[in-house]
Structure formats: C-alpha cells, structure tokens
Amino acid sequence: MTRSRFLTCVPVAAGVVVVHALRGTSLLLNAEAEALLDSFAHPPAPRHRRGYRASQLAPLLDAFLAKGFLLPADQNEREAFLRSRHPGDLASGAHLRGLSLVVSERCNLACPYCLRGAFLGLPPGQHPAQMSIRTARQAIRAFLRVADRHLGHNLQVSFRGGEPLLAPEVVFAAVRDLRSIWPDRPVRVSLVTNGTLVTDAAARQMAALGIAAEVSLDGPQAVHDALRLTRTGGRTHHAVRQGIDRLHRAGVEVMCVNATGTAETLPLLGEAFMDELAARGLTFLNLEPDVLRPAHPDPRRLAERILELRAVGRGRGVEVSGCWARPFGNLRRVSLGEPLPSGDIKGLVVGAGGAIIGSEYDGHQVLGPVPELRSVLASEQYRQHVESRLPGRIPECRGCEIEGLCQGGASVVAAYERAAGRTGLFAHRCAFVRAMTLSLIAECCLPPGR
C-alpha cells in the first residue's frame, strides 16, 4: 500500500486535518497518526510507526483505506476517481437538476466589475440580446420533459441577466407555464436582480408564482452608490432598498443579498452594512471580491479581510458566504456522509438567443438550440463539454490542493483571461479560494473521525 499523492495537510490546534484533494474525505489526526500515514509514502517520510498497539493499528489503517488515504501502489488514483464520478448516460438527462435562463443580456446599470459585461464586450460590435417568451417557454418545456422521464426532484429554475426584470413578461410567462405543467411538483424558482426595477406589481406577480429573489446591494449608501450606477450615472441605493421593501411586503422570499467588494469598497464594509442587512431581515450575504481588478494584490490578505467580514456578519446573525465557500462546503458535506457533488454538470444554461451554452457568463460556447435538447444531450459536443468540467479532469485545476473540492470554481475567470488576453486573474482567484478554504478548515476544524 502507498500514501495517496493527493493529500493536503492543514495544521489545527488539535493536530492536523488531512484532506483528500480529489475525493473530499478528511480525518483529524494527532502526531502519531500523521506519522503512521506518512510512513506509507514513497520514499517513506523519516518517521516510523510508533505509539500504536496492534488492536489500535487495524482500525486506523481501515480508516485510511476507507478515506482513500492509502491505496494499492499500482492504482491510477486519478483515473479511478474519474470513473467513480462520471454521471453515466448523459443522453438521458438524468443528471440534470437545474435550468438557468439568461433572460436579457442588457442591464440598466453599468457596474465596473461586471464579468458578464466584460465577456459581452469581447467581440466588437456585439449587441446584447433579449429572450422571447416563446424561447423561454420552449426551454422550460424541454427541461421538464427530460426531468419527467426520470421523476425529477429537487429541481431549480433560475432567471438571470443582465437584468431579468428588463423583460418581466418573459419571466412570468415562463413560470406560469412551469406551474401549469407541474402543478403538484415542487420546483425552486428564483430570479437574480439588481433590485432597481422591482415594482409593486412585479413583486405581487413573483409572490403569486412562487419566485424567490436574489438582490444586489454592495454596501451602505455611500459605498453602494460609488459603484452601482445607472448608465447615465444615477445613484441606485435608494431604489434597491425600495425594491427589497416591495418584495418583503408582497411576501417574496429574498434568498440572499449579492455584493461585490472592490479595492476601494472592501475596506469600507463592516458593522454598518451588516446592521443594515440584519435590520431588514436579510440573513445571507453572498460577498465576492472583484475578479477583474483584484481587491487586494495579495490573495492571502484578501482572504483575511473576507474572514473578518464573515465574523462581523455572524455576530449580527448574517451568514457571509460566496463562491469561495464551495470547497469548504463540499468538504463538510462529505464529512457528514453525503456524496461529493459532481461540479457544474447538473445545470443547463440557455442564452438569451435560445441556444444552450456552456456558461451563463460566456455565451460563445454554443452546444445547440434548446428545442433540440434531447439531441444536444446525446451529442459528442455535449459529452466533451461535460467531461471537460468533471472534477479531476479540468485542465487548469490539475494538481491543486483542493482540486476535487473546488471543482473549477475559478474556471470562468480562466476563460475570460484567455479570451481577453489578460494574465494573472485566474492565478489570483485560485490562490484566494485556496487561502479561504484552508483558513476555514483551520477555523472550523472538522470533528475527530470525520
């Protein structure tokens, strides 16, 4: 037997948390157990197997084997992991759990950090598109036909932009279709909005159709209004607060607040912002640092700042999270006996023009028209797309110490970097996510035996 080469060790007060970078399994080990594990390395670590009787040694070795920390010397660990993670028959669509509709590529704001806007501006002269009601209905029906064949459960449908409330009639018509086709089956429907276009009528429609909301708010008024301006330079904080109030009055669930921190604004966020959120009953903040112009040149310092804000939020009943939390969240799921998620392959994205696309941010990778969903799922192009996004196979992630946990969480930044000819953005984002993950492991320390 040999020690896995995919192990990451995080020192904590009680010893060391050893994490399998691909499988997401973990164990909290004391010094003797760590030395025992290291003795199986090739070449062996300069420590010996001490401190254990035979009756103690067997259960520990069994745990190492079960977690994938030890394996046969001739086993190709990556290939074995990939075989175990493949979703199987892609043509059936049984792996799909979510549908995202890019309702409008247009937006009424001009936020300087908008990654979608940056992608949209890459082909010169490209004009933003808007989805038609017909296309939205086709997407909903195609998705539900596939889900119906497999008694789909835990399904989610999300309306995104741009700003989807530039075309509210498209959103509401599509959801009416969905609710009429599946009147008795729960489907989680959400809408991601900047909040400035939420009218009383729109909020009532959302409540009646069971549409939850994510709303963008970058901080207290002075902070928010330094960034989130209309295309004519108008301030928007007051309009967003009014939009949130309208959603609450109508009984719409505001799932979370989305905020972006820049080099200028991240140092200004703190107690006042968390107090504002808590006072409005907003208990979940999705806080992301700017990726187009990193909020701090040192990823570790940036991670420290986000962790500080996380602590401030928790002190006021506001949970601060973000895409950066996915690796640690996956680690906790596996520690509780749940399977490691399969990355982003469970979602289907339909662009404003009606094409199934590879990413909601980058609409240039077209997989096929949504009315032909079943043919798209059976196509070689779709198979290649899915397999290129499987944890353990993403080229830019190979060898990362949180590879299987992160599952390509920064790959959209890599795509933008390649398309725009800018360098350093992907490396910075990856280093930040790694720093956040290792810090959260050290902070929260998984329970012994997990």
Let me know whether 234 and 272 are in one domain. yes
Q: How many domains does the chain have?
A: 2
Do 154 and 303 sit in the same domain of this protein? yes
7 shares its domain with 140: no
278 and 150: one domain?
yes
Write the pLDDT tens digit of every residue in 128-162: 899 999 999 999 999 999 998 876 678 999 999 99
Residues 388 and 330 in one domain: yes
Mean pLDDT of 370-385: 96
- Give per-residue pLDDT as tens, 275-293: 999 999 999 999 999 999 9
Are residues 72 and 96 located together in one domain of the fold? no
Same domain, 137 and 245: yes
Say how far apart CA 299 and CA 432 lie, in whole Å: 5
Domain limits for position 95: 91-450
Asked if 205 and 217 count as a contact pair (C-beta separation under 8 A), the reply is no
Question: Do 222 and 154 share a structural domain?
Answer: yes
pLDDT tens per residue across span 219-240: 999 999 999 999 999 999 999 9
Name the least confident of 45-54, 239-248, 336-345, 368-377.
45-54
Q: Tell me, what's the pLDDT at 49?
A: 52
Last residue of a domain, one of 44, 61, 85: 85
- Residue where one domain finishes, among candidates 56, 85, 114: 85
What pTM did the predictor assign? 0.92
The 3-class secondary structure across 120-184, one letter per residue, is HCCCCCCCCCECCHHHHHHHHHHHHHHHHCCCCCCEEEEEECCCHHHCHHHHHHHHHHHHHHCCC
The CATH number of whichever domain residue 287 belongs to comes to 3.20.20.70
To 5 degrees, how large is the angle CA 291–CA 296–CA 297? 95
pLDDT the model gives residue 421: 87
Interior CA angle at 172 toward 167 and 173, to 5°? 100
So what's the pLDDT on residue 54?
A: 64
Question: H-type helices in 159-267, by residue range?
Answer: 168-181, 200-209, 221-224, 237-250
Identify which of 353-357, 386-390, 441-445 has the greatest average pLDDT. Answer: 353-357
Residues 201 and 349 in one domain: yes
Backbone φ, ψ for residue 366 (5° rounding): -95, 125
Indicate if 345 and 204 belong to the same structural domain: yes
Cβ within 8 Å of residue 319, ≥6 positions away: 283, 284, 285, 313
- Which of 85, 110, 138 is a domain's end point? 85
34 and 117 both lie in a single domain: no
Are residues 77 and 162 both part of a single domain? no
Mean pLDDT of the 64-86 span: 92
